[in-house]
Amino acid sequence: MEYHHAYTIAIISSIFIQFITPIIRFGQNPGGKKPQKMEKETKEKIEKTVIEILNESDMKEITEFKVRKLASEKLGIDLSEKSHKAFVRSVVEKFLEEERAREYENSQVNKEEEDGDKDCGKGNKEFDDDGDHIICRLSDKRRVTIQEFKGKALVSIREYYKKDGKELPTSKGISLTDEQWSTFKKNMPAIENAVKKMESRV
């Protein structure tokens, strides 16, 4: 009798382990993948907040600690925890790398413009293969020339390419009539102010 009773308990225990335990676990983690989704959403929120803080901050003064602290306050999340800390660091490093790349690109553009300004300041007259007066070279590929078309003088700002030792014009550019050039010249101060405002936002 005792043997039969022990055998019954063993069977019930086996059934409990095989069927009841998985149900309890499923109830604790419904859907299975939901925690991962929540983690992804949290990371996206953290990344977005960190980038916003970096964009609004002075790069000379801001530190990773300050970024983490400000992000914690905005999100209401403790970002001093090891995994959060590492994630914030990776976002900051990625942002700084992109910032350095942008600065390098801008410096190259500025250098190109400075080289063009130097060429524009030269007093010696230069003419292209078509006999058009080259006012200045904005870069190796871009130049400003004075062309004549149907008896009218045009200010041409255009990109060129080299072929068989000659510099030939591309379709990339613009030719302004005397009236258009005068309008453009009058609005130069407004254009310069708009450029300065745009640069201050970057």
pLDDT digits over 74-128, tens only? 999 888 888 888 898 999 998 888 888 888 777 776 666 565 555 555 556 777 7
DSSP state of 140: S
Write down the pLDDT at residue 81.
86
Looking at residue 118, its pLDDT comes to: 55
Nearest Cα neighbor of 161 from 170, 152, 153 is: 170
Looking at residue 84, what is its pLDDT?
87
Contact 150, 144 (CB under 8 A): no
The domain locations on the chain are 1-32, 40-121, 131-201
Give the Å distances, CA to CA, from 180 to 13, 51, 87, 149: 92, 43, 54, 15
Other CB atoms within 10 A of residue 70 CB: 19
- Secondary structure (3-state) at 202: coil
pLDDT reported for residue 49:
92
Residue 114, pLDDT score? 61
Query: Could you say which architecture CATH assigns to the domain 131-201?
Result: Roll (2.30)
Distance CA 48, CA 71 (A): 10
The number of beta carbons lying within 10 Å of the beta carbon of residue 85 is 15
Regions of the chain where pLDDT drops below 50: 2-6, 15-17, 19-28, 30-38
Q: What is the pTM of this model?
A: 0.38
